[in-house]
Amino acid sequence: MLLAVDVGNTNITFGVYDGEREVSTFRMMSLLSRTSDEFGITILALLERNGIKKDDIEGIIVVSVVPGIMHALIGGLTRYVGKRPYIVGFGVDTGIEIKTDNPKEVGTDRIVDAAGAYALYGGPLLVLDFGTATTYDMVDEKGAFVAGVTAPGIGISAKALWQNTAKLPEIEIKKPASILAKETISSMQAGLVYGQIGQTKYMIEEMRREAGIPDMKVVATGGLGRMISEEVKEIDIYDATLTLKGLQIIYERNRGRAPQENPYETGRE
């Protein structure tokens, strides 16, 4: 089995795959400081809780946008699970050519989403990820990453409201019954959710228009993506585990190659 690990700004999401079949998924917060031993012990406990033995894991692949925790995480995986991981972005073949002005600036999580979406749904397409940031990425018909837009995620926008204004409370992010809000909480919810819906519609429309592909397929993922996808008819597919599927696809492309040395080891860049 494969252990796929997606290290995001808010959560670390794990997926266990038997070939292409998803066996289990689970997560932990990525903002907590942990040692490699704490990571290893916690991951083993989560695997066991999901009925998976350490010896069942044949390979590990990791994508991360949080370099600060990678030394401890990779150490914990290597020591406790007993496998050296593939790390996306360091000599790993993703199958995605990056045709931007500075390819090194493109986040590896976005490359993984692009790899998964292109392999599963074909191109050209737009890949939307509603995570800590909201991203809109274009993949052409040959599987090349050609453009990307980055915007604040709904969660970031919500925190900006209640952390920078004295009288606005912390709220649950959900679609209110009406955009015609009559009190503070639903007013904030309307601004956040309907604002994201409007932004999403406009981004899709403009990216399709400038690319000259008015019917370009749109695939969405991310924690709040389901709520937005239900309201935006331009989104064709919502795939909650797109990033993990992308990791599984990339792992298969690299199967048989030795994983690279850990670039996060002390003394390495």
Known catalytic residue at 215:
no
Residue owning tokens 């919500």: 158
Distances (CA, A) of 73 to 112, 114, 154, 170: 19, 24, 28, 32
**Strands 59-64, 125-130: pairing kind:** unpaired
Residue owning tokens 């700004």: 9
* DSSP per-residue string spanning 134-181: EEEEEE-TTSEEEEEEEEE-HHHHHHHHHHHSTTPPP------S-SS-
Catalytic residue among 6, 109, 113, 239: 109
Nearest-angstrom CA–CA distance, 54 and 225: 32
Helices (H), the chain: 36-49, 70-76, 108-121, 154-164, 184-211, 225-229, 242-254
Quick one: how far is CA 249 from the chain centroid? 15
User: By three-state DSSP, how is residue 68 classified?
Assistant: helix
Distances (CA, A) of 50 to 29, 45, 107, 179, 233: 18, 9, 30, 41, 36
Catalytic residues: 109
